[in-house]
Structure 1
């Protein structure tokens, strides 16, 4: 399939199948982008991705499936007019806390203004600088009062393995770190192995500061610990807190494929039943187009009195289903969310993938009622703690929560 035809089909999907086709119509300007069959794969992916960035929707994504995705071998975060190395993955020339003050002879602010579209936000701690650095050649950094110049290198991404961790912090406080809701089994296993410790503690800290999302259904077992009474999941929502799904033929076929893939996982009976219900819903509305979908999930949350207090740690690296988790648990009187707002990509959700030979295009088929959109802000925490370079050495969010508990 040639590049012009692929681009034209993506435009067609965004005009008809994408959940935001109507609301984002004024941003959909394919005529601004020139596609040729002769352009390189890299040029093609960058051009299409630039077109998608116009929609301000983090669930729109295009890539070459058989290409090795590269990164710079380290990760950074912005504070004021500098970048700080927060993680070193491959490039051992860098050290935690290195302070980057110039990129390609531009100040951080100048580089940000030039590449703001890639960074996707004006707010410093929400900018995607690990993406921005892909468009840089050299950096000037400060280490131990010395200024050093480095030319950047590329490294292949390694497969990401999410972390699922339990810790007993002390006799009255337990801690869960959950970096994904893409698989049900790790969460089920974590709760099966540590249910007793959790229910015997007064405080539970759930860390989703890094969470790459997945399927909302897979975090349902956590809700029993988070709410203090029995309540139906659908009763957590206001009457007008509704969602819509664009049940076009293409969307139904692809979404059914996704749901049937979920059923191949090792699921508990309740989770499997919920996915089967979703399959029936798709089959019922097949090829009906944009349709109001009332929240009728009949999952019953079996609330527990203990832990008495739930603290959820959030950050901009918590996206997709991680965000709906934060949003929904805020409806419990036991919960306090601490940290920074989430990523902000859940106005449009239920992501499916179209395969064009060796290219892949992701887009959403469902959307929330506009009254409940929060892509511009993310889900806002109850207690905001700004990110500073001190976080590299000291977990200020966790320490804040522990201080609250000790009071």
Structure 2
């Protein structure tokens, strides 16, 4: 078992070094030496079971601050991914409960004062890299770290404090290359004076119908997105391993494809074969989608947060391009997004019956120039920092409505 884990770890590190689209710009975050030491010390101490292995590897990937990286665990693995049953956000030195799912001992608005008898920042002092998505409190993601704690000190709304043992609940896994999903209910609110589009919970991949709905609400006339965005360059890493994985994906896709789709798949397989081993190749893409036409001159307000996925970030890009051309008035309100849009074209490689590693093979031209948004997100026009008041009301939506209502 130890040899298997060692093989998986080295394979993940090799893929990040050679095949991941985020290199070389993410190289400074890739502290392989310290992580190898941490894994080695845990193994020597007899502590490196499946649970700790998954925990360490998940933390290692988190330090890259790229939502496109993921370790997926199969149903037969002895260690399944878990959550603490609630979500938190940071304000000052404390973490505030913003959502309760399974663990109803907690209430929205509760403050986590201590994690395992230490303030939250102390856990970062001895961490390798930054496992909570960076230093900006508004973009930090603490749920995974909280789920690894044994207990937390909670301060309730009435001022009382309670030491609570952390429970663990089975967590569903969402792969970066997941199937297209629909907009959440109520994401688009069309008022007489404005259109408000909530992009804070948009799926990683947005289905065509939802995308058309957003663009129709956004744009005053039907037009090609390519006319707004122009030619868009991406850099794709055609290493031998990436080409082999991509070819396998396409061959699987071909089995259930129509005759027309099979022709495209065959062309794509041939194209990848011609580029195998070429490394980073610059390619030009055009978004030929035609959409829009329902917005009769109303300003559009887009609500964003660190939870805004690449699909939501793309909508912000299109909206700002339309605004630059004088087609619509756009305001982005909230917080910086996830920063996922820099990288695309995810590949999934399974090392054994337990673990699958997902990473992207393409990057945007901005990312290639070192000017991407990974690790910092797409900034809003009007920033609304998180405060505990948001546990009682949606301050981002309130600020957006105040903006358009004067």
After TM superposition, the score normalised by the length of structure 1 is 0.79
Alpha-carbon distance, 1:210 to partner: 2.1
1:61-112 Cα shifts (integer Å, max 9, x gaps): 2243224221111211111121111111112211111122222222233334
Whether the 8 Å contact between 1:327 and 1:379 is mirrored in structure 2 is: no
Mapping 1:177-192, distance limit 5 Å: 183-184=179-180, 186=182
Q: Which of 100-109 and 217-226 deviates more?
A: 217-226
Cα 1:321–1:302 change in 2 (3 A) is closer
- Residue 356 (structure 1) aligned with residue 351 (structure 2): yes
Secondary structure of 1:59's match?
coil
1:62 aligns with 2:71: yes
Q: Which runs of 5+ in 1 are unaligned?
A: 161-179, 266-271
Instruction: Give the Cα–Cα distance (whole angstroms) in 2 for the partners of residues 325 and 277 of structure 1.
Output: 27
| Cα displacement (A) at 1:146 | 1.3
Which has the higher relative contact order, 1 or 2, with Cα contacts under 8 A spaced 6 or more apart? 2
Stretches of structure 2 lacking an aligned partner (at least 5 in a row)? none
| Inter-CA distance 124–255: structure 2 relative to 1 (3 Å threshold) | same
Aligned-pair distance for 1:367?
Answer: 0.5
Offset at residue 365 of structure 1 (A)? 0.4
Counterpart in the other structure of 2:361: 365
Which stretch shows the higher mean deviation, 356-365 or 34-43? 34-43
* 1:148 pairs with 2:162: yes
What is the aligned residue count? 376
Give 1:4's aligned residue.
Answer: 6
Matched, 1:330 2:330: no
Distance 1:319 1:342 in 2: 7
| 3-state secondary structure, aligned to 1:100 | strand
Secondary structure of 2:316's aligned partner: helix
- How far 1:182 sits from its partner (Å)? 5.2
Report what 1:376 is aligned to: 375
RMSD: 3.7
2:204 alignment partner in structure 1: 213
Distance 1:141 1:329, change over 3 A: same
Q: Secondary structure of the residue that 1:20 maps to in structure 2?
A: coil
Q: Determine helix, strand or coil for the equivalent of 2:162.
A: strand
Distance change >3 Å, CA 307–CA 249, structure 1 → 2 = farther
Contact 2:220 2:295 in 1 (8 A): yes
2:353 is the alignment partner of 1:339: no
Q: Which residue of 2 aligns with 1:104?
A: 116
Q: Is the 8 A contact 1:315 1:343 kept in 2?
A: yes
- Give the whole-Å Cα distance in 2 for the aligned partners of 1:251 and 1:81: 43
Aligned partners of 2:216 and 2:295 also within 8 Å: no
TM-score (norm 2): 0.79
For the structure 1 residues 152 and 185, does the alpha-carbon distance in structure 2 shift closer, same or farther, using more than 3 Å as the test? closer
Moved more, 248-257 or 103-112: 248-257
CA contact under 8 A between 1:245 and 1:292: conserved in structure 2? Answer: yes
Give the one of 216, 235, 239 matched to 1:224.
216
Offset of 1:390 from its aligned partner?
Answer: 1.0
Contact 1:181 1:321 in 2 (8 A): no
- Aligned equivalent of 2:282, options 288, 292, 312: 292
